[in-house]
Amino acid sequence: MTNRHAFSPQRVTIKAGETIEWKNTSSMTHTVTDDPSRARRAMDAQRPQGVQPFDSGRLAPGGTYTYTFKVPGIYRYFCEPHAIDGMVGQVIVTP
């Protein structure tokens, strides 16, 4: 999470069971979520069927959030306040 309202890298491929840690290296608050109820654009939130959405809540500068991707598939996530500025990301989870 950067001051340019972006996730870096924007797209990663991992194996099922691996954990990703996001770190807020910016000077502002961000979130990491794929919860469709928080998305202004439906296309920003995606996860395999049956998987519960994740949501970091507000991450202050320096804050971290970890999530373990157990189910293979395509995940699209976003920062709730900045998705509209293009702060979106994608995780591809292979079996």
The residue ranges that bind Cu ion (CB under 5 A) are 30, 79, 82, 87
Residue 30 Cβ vs Cu ion, minimum distance, rounded to whole Å: 3
Give whichever of 87 and 93 is closer to Cu ion, judged by the CB atom: 87
Whole-angstrom CA distances from 7 to 52, 84, 86 are 22, 13, 9
Residue 21 Cβ vs Cu ion, minimum distance, rounded to whole Å: 16
Whole-angstrom CA distances from 71 to 15, 40, 43, 66 are 9, 25, 20, 16
Strands 64-68, 19-23: pairing is: antiparallel
Query: Quick check: helix, strand or coil at residue 39?
Result: coil
Residue 27 Cβ vs Cu ion, minimum distance, rounded to whole Å: 11
